[in-house]
Structure formats: structure tokens, C-alpha cells
Amino acid sequence: MVIVKVGILGGSGLNKASLFSLLKEEWMETPFGKPSDALQHGTIAGVPCVLLARHGREHSLQPTVVNYRANLWALREAGCTHVLAATACGSLREHIEPGHFVTIDTFIDRTTKRKSSFHDGSPEGLPGIQHLAMNEPFCPHTRALLQQACQEHSVTCHPTGTMVCIEGARFSTVAESKMFRILGGDVINMTTVPEVVLARELGLCYAALAMATDYDCWRDSGEAVNVQKVLQVMKSNADTAIRVLKTTVALIAKEDWSQIVPQLQDSVTMNVMLSKT
């Protein structure tokens, strides 16, 4: 039997007070530096959980400088088996309306400046070279539970979707936004990569609850994305996101992960090339 512990990576609007009563606050140091903030420990439906504010509690870290490696390492060190990542995103499709959720199943990586592997040849890095399969980056079992939780709360959730992850911090041009639609993107954000990749390298069951906040800027009519719009939609849907996340944690605890978690961890170690010397 695998004992589950759930890490929750949150953006703004998702704070500890709304999720659980705080048991412990832990400032950690990892071989890759400091996480974005202290780990906030608590329980949801009796399940141990750890909340980490991806951009820091004051939202002072822009997507490029978030230490994704330290964040994921810290959650793994804290004993997490699962990671639920809450993320705001722009919609590249008319039918994905602001306020809707998407349990994304794949991504297009448009980032350029981030450390995206623990196996980087540095003294603190993990040994060997990791060639991780990315045919299924997000845990399908955890995604299904997020979908079930959305259903229980009568919230619209698109079960699949391709996330385009851009470097930021600027939003896309109209030309880029239209190009991403042609490429097959459904939603767009600035944090999914390398977060999901690093979670996979550590054998964590990672799934994202992506909340559409805007239509980016590909539409001929309507307002282009801006921070005020993103914050306003996030704020008005924060309670819903919190309810969905709490229900998902309870659902995770009801599942038997004794095959899934070791399988995920094996698939990681099998894809490391170690040097012969």
C-alpha cells in the first residue's frame, strides 16, 4: 500500500487559509537552491498535504526565475507522491470559456531560459542523462480524479487539452497567438514546462488544473489578455478551484496507487543513461 501525500502548487488566490489549517511551515534548502516559498503543511480530508506558492507568497517571482527544480525537489523530499498544479491560462479555443477548467494531457514547449532536468552534469545534479518519454507527461489517473471532482461540483472541465507554455513574462503577439492555434494549442500559460517534466523525473504523479482566465489575443473581437482580466477571473473562480482541489485530494486517498506509483518510478530509472566509467 502506498501512503499518499499531495503537493499543491498554487498561484495567487490559493493560500493555505483557504485549503487547510496550517500544521507546520518549513523553509527548505535543496541541492538546487531554495524553493519559491516555505512549504505549508496541513491535511485535507485526513490526507497529508503540502502547499507551495509557485511565485512566492507575494507573487514576486516571474515565470522565468521560478526555481522549478527546487520546488519539485522540496515536494518530493517532503514525501509527496502526487502533485496537483493549479495554473491560470489563456484560452486558444472559443469553446474553452473563461472560468472553465482543462485537465491538460500534453504540451508544446516554447520556453527558452529554464533548467529542465535534474540530470544536468553539475556536481549537484542527478547522475547520467535522462531521456524521459513525454508521450504521457501528466498522470492520467490523477487527471481522471480532477475531472470527477469538477463533475461533483458541476464545474465545466475539458478532459483533454494541449498547453502551449511560453517563456513570458510578456503575453503573446496576435501573430503568435494565431500560430499557436494552428499548431494545435488549446490553452496557453507560462509555468507548465518544465514543472511537469521535473515532476516526472522524480516519479511524482503530476496533474494540472488549468483555469482559463482569458482568450489571449487571437480573436478578432473582444478584449486582449491583460493582468487585470486574469486576476479578476482567478479571483471569482478561486473558491471553485479550491473546492475541486480538496475533493480531488479526498479522491486520491481512496485509490490504490500500489501499482501506479512504482511503475512511474521504474519508467524514470529505466530511461537514464549512465556513463560506463
**216 catalytic per annotation:** yes
249 and 45 Cβ atoms separated by less than 8 Å:
yes
Q: Which amino acid is at 36?
A: S
Cα 133 from Cα 22, distance rounded (Å): 37
30 secondary structure, DSSP code: B
Cα 103 from Cα 138, distance rounded (Å): 9
39 and 145 Cβ atoms separated by less than 8 Å:
no
118 and 213 Cβ atoms separated by less than 8 Å:
no
Active-site position among 105, 120, 214, 239: 214
171 binds ligand ADE (CB under 6 A): yes
162 binds ligand ADE (CB under 6 A): no
67 and 74 Cβ atoms separated by less than 8 Å:
no
Point out the residue whose Cβ comes nearest to ligand ADE: 90
205 binds ligand ADE (CB under 6 A): no
Applying CB under 6 A, which part among 25-33, 84-92, 109-117, 239-247 lies near ligand ADE?
Answer: 84-92
Q: Which is nearer to ligand ADE, 47 or 210 (CB)?
A: 210
39 binds ligand ADE (CB under 6 A): no
**214 catalytic per annotation:** yes
Member of 81, 189, 192, 248 binding ligand ADE (CB under 6 A): 189
Member of 190, 208, 242, 253 binding ligand ADE (CB under 6 A): 190
**Residue 178: exposure state from Cβ atoms within 10 A (0-12, 13-18, ≥19):** middle
CB of 89 to ligand ADE, least distance (A): 5
Active-site position among 216, 239, 256, 266: 216
- Binding site residues, ligand ADE, CB under 6 A: 88-90, 166, 171, 188-190, 213-214, 216, 225, 230
